[in-house]
Amino acid sequence: MSDMRTHELVLQWIEKQLSDGDLTLGGRLPGERAMAEQLQVSRTSVREAVRILEAMGVVRAGVGSGKDAGTVVIAEPGSALGSTLRLHVATRHLPVADIVETRVLLESWAAERAQVGVPALEAAAALLDQMDEAPDIDTFLALDARFHVALAQAAGNSVVSAMMASLRGAIENYASTLTENLPDWNATSTRLRAEHRAILNAVNNNDGGKAAQLVAAHIQGFYAEAGVGAGVPRI
Amino acid sequence: MSDMRTHELVLQWIEKQLSDGDLTLGGRLPGERAMAEQLQVSRTSVREAVRILEAMGVVRAGVGSGKDAGTVVIAEPGSALGSTLRLHVATRHLPVADIVETRVLLESWAAERAQVGVPALEAAAALLDQMDEAPDIDTFLALDARFHVALAQAAGNSVVSAMMASLRGAIENYASTLTENLPDWNATSTRLRAEHRAILNAVNNNDGGKAAQLVAAHIQGFYAEAGVGAGVPRI
DNA sequence: TTGAATTCTGTGGTCTAACCACACTGTAGA
DNA sequence: TCTACAGTGTGGTTAGACCACAGAATTCAA
């Protein structure tokens, strides 16, 4: 064990606190100085461990005092996985086409198993109404992202939801950049909104197979129109 | 941008180097002291950024000099995603059952699309022979993990491969602990090896549908026997 | 008594300047 | 020629200082 780097010891200690239930969601870690003294390491090493946990979406660090202060245990695997995937896309190790393909896989699966009546599905419906009123592209895309996440959540598998959200986040820059090059945004927007309605209707009619099929076509169609997915432009 | 923490600036700079292709797989980052001076920040902040990249599986840091020295760009998304998921499982936010379900989804998909004749498939076959000779459980499980990864790689989607490997890694402790409680390891081992052969045969016979079905039953059967998946024991 | 201004306290954020262990490189000496 | 050893540059770790921030406690004047 002594061949382990110091910050890894701290990580191990914190993970044990989590596993043992001594540290739960919403709970606060001891202050950095306190942890350093307790574990007999420098504050620097404690901070390196906290940085890693923050990058993993396990904690959130806040200065000052009060509710937002201190290092708090959170649960945001989606954004963390997204950052990791985005970096690996940057290294050219993960092709954008594979990301899109995986997203189709996960979202089709989720659409097929989405349960009617769950809160997430009602939220998805509300988001569609908001998208009809979206004043600009960025607002539309933000609502679109939330719609897809809500749809995935309706399937009730938190791992699939998190991964699906991360995949979208990993290539968000690609998508939002390429929308600017679309020939006719109004036409695309109208089509996308109609497809969303069709997907939601299929789910509400308990036609999971059709919902899955529509979702796959919806995602592949969007990236194909934007020029991503098959050819892999890669800037 | 000035409201960004210092280590995030360093991360941003390194990500840009990767995106622009100035830093590629196998390449070396400047020394920590050099980066600190170049970006006009402290070495502490540079190190926090490197720690995050290391946790993401994007770089590997090595002391001394020579081939293993310095901070080198690597591509190990699987282990990084696995650590992240494992931590989130520890917070009770991601149920083990959801992990298993997602693994079934991804591996079934991969088995159905595995391409006959690719090197990964031949490696998978070789691993099965080694498993017949495995002297102990740990060796068997290690080879088993490599077999499943090889099978997933045969589908040709690196994102699915990475995610599948990470899911297995995230609950590795659960699986290896529970194998000790199996009533008859020899019987289980024999069954698992037979199932592996059947899966590989289905793939080689271009019967993707059957391969997917067998993989799903194989994984679900193992976790069911070990007591994980449905009931979610949670320690 | 009230309320505004001030100080106190504890949080994470950042920086500097050391020293260590390590692994290779070059050089001096046998 | 070979060996021993000092030199160099890498990440790993530490101690100690200072900052900005935000809430809590205190002070003091109206």
Please write the tens of the pLDDT for every residue from A132-164: 999 998 899 999 999 999 999 999 999 999 999
pLDDT at A74: 98
Residue A231 above 80 pLDDT? no
Average pLDDT, chain A: 93
Residue A20, number of CB atoms within 10 A of its CB: 10
Quickly state the pLDDT bin for B46 (edges 50, 70, 90): very high
With beta carbons under 8 A apart, name residues in chain A contacting B90: 15, 18-19
Distance CA A172, CA A82 (A): 10
What value does the mean pLDDT take over residues A45-58?
Answer: 98
User: Nearest nt to B42, CA vs C1'?
Assistant: C15
**Cβ(B110)–Cβ(B160) under 8 Å?**
yes
Residue A180 above 90 pLDDT? no
What value does the mean pLDDT take over residues A47-60?
Answer: 98
Distance CA A88, CA B158 (A): 11
Which residues have a Cβ under 8 Å from the Cβ of A105 and sit 6 or more positions away?
B105, B106, B109, B160
Distance CA B24, CA A69 (A): 38
Strand D and B231 CB separated by under 7 Å: no
Provide the positions of strand C that have an atom within 7 A of a protein CB.
9-18, 21-25
Bridge partner residues of B72 (DSSP): B28, B60
With beta carbons under 8 A apart, name residues in chain A contacting B7: 51
**Window from A73-77, A83-87, B222-226 with minimum mean pLDDT:** B222-226
**Window from A129-138, B60-69, B221-230 with minimum mean pLDDT:** B221-230
Tokens 């290391």: give the residue: B54
Please give the model's pTM, rounded to 2 decimal places: 0.93
The separation, in Å, between residue B26 CA and nucleotide D17 C1' comes to 38
Pick from B134, B166, B135: which is nearest to B149 by CA? B166
Residue A211 above 50 pLDDT? yes
Q: Which contiguous run of DSSP H or E holds residue B70?
A: strand B70-73
pLDDT at A233: 40
Beta strand extents in chain A (DSSP E only): 59-62, 70-73
Give the total residue count for chain B.
Answer: 235
Quickly state the pLDDT bin for B229 (edges 50, 70, 90): low
Residue A227 above 80 pLDDT? no
Better-predicted residue by pLDDT, A183 or B132: B132
The CA-to-CA distance between both ends of chain B, in Å, stands at 45
Residue B12 above 90 pLDDT? yes
Quickly state the pLDDT bin for A52 (edges 50, 70, 90): very high
pLDDT at B61: 98
pLDDT at A225: 83
With beta carbons under 8 A apart, name residues in chain A contacting B105: 105-106, 109, 160
Q: What is the DSSP string of A158-219?
A: HHHHHHHHHHHHHTHHHHHHHHTT-S-HHHHHHHHHHHHHHHHHHHHTT-HHHHHHHHHHHH
Residue A216 above 60 pLDDT? yes
**Three-state secondary-structure class, residue B221:** helix
pLDDT at B2: 64
Q: A91, A112, A232: best mutation site toward chain B, by most B Cβ within 10 Å?
A: A91
Amino acid at position A199, single letter: I
pLDDT at B225: 83
B147-206 residue pLDDT tens: 999 999 999 999 999 999 999 999 888 877 878 778 888 999 999 999 999 999 999 999
What value does the mean pLDDT take over residues A84-96?
Answer: 96
The separation, in Å, between residue A9 CA and nucleotide D12 C1' comes to 13
